[in-house]
Structure 1
């Protein structure tokens, strides 16, 4: 947590309006002014890394949405919002004498150079797979050099905070590296059908609710596995499906409204008919 009243004294903050708006110095000056104890913004002054974390996650997803929509103007704006998050985290850390924005830049620059010896050094690689293997080996060496515990399982290090579909895919990739994987998509498809059948066994009104949760989870996990074998990012695929469903249903609502109706159980047949029409029109 940042302690506003115990902040160290820093050099005077330059006026961001007098700086080149395209420069990182201008952004850092804006953030410094927002966090200034005397002249800053009351809301920004109250924030801590924990309180702005939800906004950071939201901004990352908005970047993803701009990319999926092929909207370069929106992507430019959303990347700016995301960069602001990096700048304000760095400012908070600087106030606590932990690190500053320059340290963040130096850290990632050094890491990228260090982990790409085939680009910035004399190392040679024969394939993308070899690049990934070298990357993991260097990460392990860096952890050991820092005195961090050497991982004893290939499953370690996959962040718990990741979206469930993303984390499932990463766990599966870890297992695949050591040969624990299906050989063909057909084998995974068989597993999906198996998991669906086990899920159907819980349809009974007397089924154990916890068992239903487990079986649905297994089904979703196997679907992620199938997506991975088909070269499809499960998270992006589901996001795209959500967008399609949303767009189509909104079109159904418009068509119902033109007939003086609105979505309701008594118009289920109308909605299904319109849904099929909308899908056909899109294709």
Structure 2
């Protein structure tokens, strides 16, 4: 099915959602109690559910999960308006202003001929906007380590700090693998220094993530697909074991 709703229909649907949010906030005991703090962990959960739906390639689930996230955005806007901090209009205006400011190749006189130039402009503009003293200052501290490694590398690349060829990155992977093996040789019986081994293992993972980026693989998605594949195969074995009377 192709959705061809008009702009007016879309605005009408959004207005309906805002009206429902007003009514729920006034009349529903659960909705009346919520705060930005109480919604926070639920928003994180909804984001992961959207991620699952995207990885599964299920359009109906993606639509549903996007709706749940939109509900949270409207909810935060409603709470913000009650507290006199912001409302849906100021949220949208702030976003629109930021998009225009960060796309000077569309709304200004800057030239960007490819995706890489757009990314570099974006990072440079962010740096001046937020007053960060470091390009990496905008990376959220609470990001999971694997995703944080990706964002660190992407931001460094955005200002020109990167390898030139993927062969160089692979050499770094091999170098880190050798350093890890030097600290922890599986064939030897000697006691290992866990702190050193952990450090070398982290370096190895970081270099592998870097190589994945160079060949356009999202390591987070790749690992999650492998997780799902393992779960599916393991559960198949569990079922087979039950059918044969084993535990």
Same fold by TM-score, threshold 0.5 exceeded? yes
1:75 aligns with 2:62: yes
Which residue matches 2:207?
222
Post-superposition offset of 1:80: 0.1
Offset from partner CA, 1:38-71 (integer Å, 9 cap, x none): x232x22222212211111111111111111111
Post-superposition offset of 1:168: 0.6
1:187 aligns with 2:171: yes
Moved more, 169-178 or 229-238: 169-178
1:29 aligns with 2:19: yes
Which residue matches 1:168?
149
Post-superposition offset of 1:218: 2.9
Q: Give yes or no for contact 1:192–1:223 (8 Å, CA) kept in 2.
A: no
Q: Give yes or no for contact 2:100–2:107 (8 Å, CA) kept in 1.
A: yes
Residues 63-102 of structure 1 mapped to structure 2, 5 A cutoff: 63-102=50-89
Q: Match for 2:100 among 113, 116, 130? A: 113
Q: Give yes or no for contact 2:21–2:74 (8 Å, CA) kept in 1.
A: yes
Q: Give yes or no for contact 2:179–2:200 (8 Å, CA) kept in 1.
A: yes
1:40 aligns with 2:28: yes
Gap regions ≥5 residues in structure 1: 1-19, 144-149, 263-283
Question: Number of residues paired by the alignment?
Answer: 234
Which residue matches 2:235?
250
Q: Aligned in 2, Cα 1:154/1:124: closer, same or farther, shift over 3 Å?
A: closer
Q: Give, in whole Å, the separation in 1 of the partners of 2:196 and 2:79.
A: 45
Post-superposition offset of 1:236: 0.9
Q: Give, in whole Å, the separation in 1 of the partners of 2:223 and 2:243.
A: 30
Q: Give, in whole Å, the separation in 1 of the partners of 2:144 and 2:190.
A: 30
Offset from partner CA, 1:101-126 (integer Å, 9 cap, x none): 11111111222123223234454322
Q: Give yes or no for contact 2:209–2:219 (8 Å, CA) kept in 1.
A: yes
Q: Give, in whole Å, the separation in 2 of the partners of 1:169 and 1:204.
A: 35
Q: Match for 2:217 among 218, 226, 232? A: 232
Q: Aligned in 2, Cα 1:195/1:71: closer, same or farther, shift over 3 Å?
A: farther
Q: TM-score, structure 2 length as denominator?
A: 0.83
Q: Give, in whole Å, the separation in 1 of the partners of 2:179 and 2:221.
A: 22
1:60 aligns with 2:47: yes
1:136 aligns with 2:117: no
Q: Aligned in 2, Cα 1:212/1:35: closer, same or farther, shift over 3 Å?
A: farther
Gap regions ≥5 residues in structure 2: 1-9
Moved more, 45-54 or 92-101: 45-54
Post-superposition offset of 1:201: 4.9
Q: Give yes or no for contact 1:67–1:75 (8 Å, CA) kept in 2.
A: yes
Supply the RMSD in Å over aligned alpha carbons: 2.6
Q: TM-score, structure 1 length as denominator?
A: 0.73
Q: Give, in whole Å, the separation in 2 of the partners of 1:195 and 1:89.
A: 48
3-state secondary structure, aligned to 1:187: helix
Q: Give, in whole Å, the separation in 2 of the partners of 1:187 and 1:197.
A: 15
